[in-house]
Amino acid sequence: MPRLVRSIWILTGVHLVAGMVAYVHFLVTGSYRLLGWYFTIFGSLFFLIMAAAECSLAFVCRSWFESDEPMRLAWSMIAFAALARLAGTGIRELADGRLNWGPNQWLLPHVGGWFASQSQFGMVIGGPLSMAFLAAGLGRVLSVQRKFRLSGSLTRGDKALLILIVAFSLSQLAINVPLLRQHTSPGTSLLWLSDPLLALLLIEAVLVRRSVLRIGQGLLARCWGSFVVAIVTTSLGDASIWANNRNLLPDSLIALSWYIWFVAAAAFTCAPAYQLEAMSATSSLRQLEVR
């Protein structure tokens, strides 16, 4: 495992262990105090650090490609997705005042009547906008993979999963589209794009995963594998929110499901770290020595 990726997972591990202490405290006492404190302070900081690391790594990866290379566009989209996630996280942290940065509302753009709140504006930037960029980037990756015949054929399980994803997103659209005619703000309507975009990302993840399984466990394969892990964990987080809204989960499981987002953030950061490792190690002859 490359040193950078190891550092990301060590940081995530330490963060999750600290989180588990807060979770056990919640299970024993039933009080949300420590858990809330952990998610407000450490959780917010973790998301900001991971988003900033992902964004800077993705832009470095982008800089390794020249403007006429096909993967330049892919990495541009992935870098913009990371930038949108960082901006969205930052705006939400500032708007919600989770971190004690003083009076900070003046730092935020005026969102007018488009969004219900500045926090919602941050959610749109870090959610649907970021997902749209990522979907465009992964679409480009898939087209390059297909060109080099790297994409494997889908199994029955893959096809069944794809049908399930499409059916679920169509059912969500059937619920949300009639609501668009009602009083919803443009910000709320934009947030509803999250589900179809996540479905699109899941479809791309299934296709990317198939090619990854076909070629093995190299650095580039792990890069795309990390995106798959990140998208699947994001979907699990989304599913837990959906289940929570319908009171399908007990309190103990609801609190536990919040930790999924940390794993998703770490996996998103690992993807460009693997790509960068593959590219930067090309200049070292030591890497080429036969094992």
Partner 1 sequence: MKFLPRLNLGFWKRAQSGVSAEPILLGQASVSGLDELSKRLSRWGSLWSAENEAEDNSTAQALVTERLTVWLERSFGEHLPASLYGDGDAISLSSSIPILTAFLGRRATRELSRSVLQDI
101 SS3 class: coil
5 binds partner 1 (CB under 8 A): no
Out of 6, 33, 146, 147, the only residue in the binding site for partner 1 (CB under 8 A) is 147
Separation in Å, CA 205 to CA 62, 140, 196, 229: 21, 13, 14, 8
217 binds partner 1 (CB under 8 A): yes
| Range list of H helices, 246-259 | 251-257
Out of 32, 42, 64, 168, the only residue in the binding site for partner 1 (CB under 8 A) is 64
Q: Which is nearer to partner 1, 13 or 70 (CB)?
A: 70
Q: Choose among 203, 209, 214, 200: nearest CA to 149.
A: 214
- The first and second tokens of residue 40, run together, are 């407000």
153 binds partner 1 (CB under 8 A): no
215 binds partner 1 (CB under 8 A): yes
- The first and second tokens of residue 32, run together, are 């949300």
Q: Which is nearer to partner 1, 106 or 148 (CB)?
A: 148
Site string for partner 1, 243-262 (x = CB under 8 A): --------------------
Residues 108 and 38 sit within 8 Å (Cβ to Cβ): no
288 binds partner 1 (CB under 8 A): yes
Out of 41, 70, 163, 171, the only residue in the binding site for partner 1 (CB under 8 A) is 70
- The first and second tokens of residue 164, run together, are 């399930």
Residues 229 and 274 sit within 8 Å (Cβ to Cβ): no
Residues 235 and 262 sit within 8 Å (Cβ to Cβ): no
DSSP 94: H
69 binds partner 1 (CB under 8 A): yes
Q: How far is the CB of 283 from partner 1 (least distance, A)?
A: 4
- The first and second tokens of residue 291, run together, are 């094992």
| Sequence-ordered strand ranges (E) for the chain | none
65 binds partner 1 (CB under 8 A): yes
Site string for partner 1, 71-100 (x = CB under 8 A): xx----------------------------
Q: How far is the CB of 157 from partner 1 (least distance, A)?
A: 20
| Residue 55 CB-half CA count within 13 A | 19
Q: Choose among 230, 286, 267: nearest CA to 5.
A: 267
- The first and second tokens of residue 253, run together, are 């499981």
Q: Segment contacting partner 1 (CB under 8 A): 13-21, 58-66, 89-97, 252-260? A: 58-66
Q: How far is the CB of 272 from partner 1 (least distance, A)?
A: 13
Q: How far is the CB of 290 from partner 1 (least distance, A)?
A: 6
219 binds partner 1 (CB under 8 A): yes
6 binds partner 1 (CB under 8 A): no
Using CB under 8 A as the criterion, which residues of the chain lie in contact with partner 1 when the complex forms?
64-66, 69-72, 144, 147-150, 212, 214-221, 278-285, 287-291
